[in-house]
Every structure is written in C-alpha cells, then in structure tokens.
C-alpha cells in the first residue's frame, strides 16, 4: 500500500549520542557493564566530561525512538516526512544539531523546546562489539503532555498516523502522553507498537509499562529484556519462545488485533509470535570483522520493521526488513546509514 506523510508517529527522548571507544578500566571506573543501557546518576557526571576528551569522539543524533523512525524513513525514501517525531529538547547548540539532523533525515520532527534544561545526551561507551549506554535525559525528561501533545496542531499529526511507535524509555518521562496515544490507536483500530527497551524499564517502571500493555499490538525487545520482563512478571520460565507466548497472552483492549511479540537475540534467530505459534527467523550472516559497533542495531531492526508495517506487508517481510536494516547499521559507527538502502 502507498505511504503518505505522517503515516508513522513516534514519540520519545531525543538525545545527542556521544560515542567513543573506551577500555575496561573506563567501564570499571564508572561501574558500567559492557553491554547495558542505564540512566545517568551523579556518579556519571564526570564520565561525560571524560568521554568528550577521548581522541576519537563522534556526535550523532540519537534517542531510541528517533533512531527507529529515521531508519523507517530511510528505508521508504519517498515521500519525505513519512514519520512524525515528538520529544523535548533545549534551546541550545545540541538542540540545533538535533533539528538539523532530523531535517536531513526527512523526519517531520516537532520538538517541544524549553530553556530550563539543556538538550539530552547519551554516552555510548564502545568496547569491541559491546556498547554501554549512559543517558543523561536532561531536556528529554521535560516533555509535557499539556504543553505539546494536547495542542490541536500537534494532536492532528497523531490522528493522521496509522502506526505508532514509542520505546519503553519514554515511560520514565511521560506515561500519560503514551497512554493518550495508545488509547487513540486502540479506539481507532490502528497499530500501537512498543519496545521493552532496557532491563531497568521492566524492573523499575513496571507499573506504567503494564498500564500501557493492554494497548500494545506489537511488542519488541531483545533476549536480555525479555528475560528480565519474564522474571518481573513471574512467568517462571527462561525459554524465550515460552516468554513470547505468555507475553502475547497478557490482557489486551482491542480484540480485533492479536498481539504480536518480536524478540531479537543479536546474531541468533529472531523469535516472533505468528498467530498461535512461535516462529524463529534467522538473521543475515555477517563476518565478525565487519561489525563496527552494535549501537543502534535494535533501533534499526524496529525501523526496518516499521517501514514494511506501514505498507501493510506480512510479518515475515517486516522482520526481513528489520534484519536488513540492523545488518547495515552494525557495519557503521552509531545509528548511521548509507545514502540509499539496497533492500528488495
């Protein structure tokens, strides 16, 4: 089916990624696991100063949801502005960079701009093919439903969309905004997608996560997040296919759509619920030496998936596009991509 402007709606934390290759001592110094996503605490303040001084630091527009809608736009190519993005930034240099990068990616970004807090940043600490992400939300944490989402001109863009995607990360910022969008999707039989995003979401933001869950048509996550979610929900299994099944069967508002659960597992098969069964989808082969950095692989998978979903293609096709996009992104630094996709 043809796509149109604003068919895809995303809302989340717009962050400027600051990525650098670090060593184990650096991780140990700040108490970081090699492969993790956390929110910055006071003890990480110095980390941001230190990482900027690294010899090969790179700046990229980031934020999980924003990455995904950008990749979806890249996969679709034309028309431009297929994706809308909402989030909060500061009135500062980093904020200007994010605006410029969104425009270059042809994403229709409508930021809520405020000057209480500076634009959020995310330190991507790269060791080998692992990445430890430390997010300092700052401005991203200041998103206000009544100041932005509720405005008629903005809500019209929400109503225009057919597919919605919000990463679980945004549950720490504005669960009320997520619920408003999720209920709109459910009431109008549109597709609402969410991501488990990181283990800490299932652990410490369980209540808002489970408030939104009945409205979730498609749930994404990786193997670690799936395991944590299962543990927190008392599923009493560490079998990923069982976890997918049990997650699919959680209560759901819109009965017209059966929930689809999609769990990626790095280089191992992607697991997805297809009707009553759980199917494994092998990822594309890649030589270990071609992997530059895995930061953004999960976001890219979702972006590729969404690009086919908005065109109402089959789940198999959506997953194939997700695998393609992730395969492209892991060959590059950050969540960046070549000029045009080569996906058929």
Active site residues: 299
CA distance 220 to 198: 11
Burial 40-55 (b: 16+ CB within 10 A, else e): beeebeebeebbeeee
Q: Which two tokens stand for residue 292?
A: 């530059």
In 3D space, the residue among 242, 200, 192, 239 whose CA is nearest the CA of residue 220 turns out to be: 192
**DSSP codes, 44-70:** GHHHHHHHHTSTT-EEEEE-HHHHHHH
Omega prior to 316 cis, within 30 of 0: no
Angstrom CA distances, 217 to 135, 180, 223, 299, stand at: 27, 15, 19, 18
Based on the number of CB atoms within 10 Å of its own CB, is 285 exposed (0-12), middle (13-18) or buried (19 or more)?
A: exposed
- Residue whose token pair is 């502005």: 81
Neighbours of 23 (CB within 10 A): 10
- Residue whose token pair is 């869950």: 213
Neighbouring residues of 120: CB distance < 8 A, sequence distance ≥ 6: 13, 14, 15, 16, 63, 89, 135, 136, 137, 138, 139, 140, 141
Neighbouring residues of 233: CB distance < 8 A, sequence distance ≥ 6: 202, 246, 247
């Amino acid at each position: 089916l043809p796509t149109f402007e604003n068919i895809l709606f995303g809302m989340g934390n717009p962050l400027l990624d600051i990525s650098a290759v670090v060593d184990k001592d650096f991780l140990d110094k700040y108490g970081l696991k090699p492969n993790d996503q956390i929110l910055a605490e006071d003890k990480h303040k110095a980390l941001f100063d230190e990482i900027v001084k690294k010899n090969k630091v790179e700046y990229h527009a980031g934020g999980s949801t924003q990455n995904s809608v950008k990749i979806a736009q890249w996969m679709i190519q034309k028309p431009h502005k297929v994706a809308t993005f909402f989030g909060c930034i500061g009135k500062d240099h980093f904020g200007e960079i994010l605006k410029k990068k969104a425009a270059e990616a042809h994403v229709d970004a409508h930021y809520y701009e405020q000057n209480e807090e500076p634009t959020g940043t995310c330190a991507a600490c790269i060791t080998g093919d692992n990445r430890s992400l430390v997010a300092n939300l700052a401005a991203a944490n200041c998103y206000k439903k009544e100041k932005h989402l509720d405005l008629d001109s903005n809500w019209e863009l929400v109503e225009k969309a057919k597919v919605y995607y919000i990463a679980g990360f945004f549950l720490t910022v504005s669960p009320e905004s997520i619920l408003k969008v999720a209920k709109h999707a459910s009431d109008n039989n549109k597709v609402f997608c969410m991501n488990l995003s990181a283990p800490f979401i299932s652990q410490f933001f369980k209540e808002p996560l489970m408030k939104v869950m009945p409205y979730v048509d498609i749930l994404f996550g990786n193997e670690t997040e799936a395991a944590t979610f299962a543990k927190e929900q008392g599923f009493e299994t560490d079998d990923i296919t069982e976890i997918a099944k049990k997650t699919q069967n959680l209560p759901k508002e819109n009965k017209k759509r059966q929930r689809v659960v999609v769990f990626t597992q790095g280089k191992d098969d992607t697991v997805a619920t297809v009707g009553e069964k759980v199917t494994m989808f092998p990822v594309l082969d890649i030589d270990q030496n071609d992997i530059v950095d895995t930061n953004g692989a999960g976001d890219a998978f979702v972006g590729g998936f969404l690009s086919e979903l908005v065109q109402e293609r089959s789940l198999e096709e959506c997953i194939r596009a997700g695998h393609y996009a992730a395969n492209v992104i892991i060959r590059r630094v950050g969540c960046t991509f070549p000029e045009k996709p080569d996906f058929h």
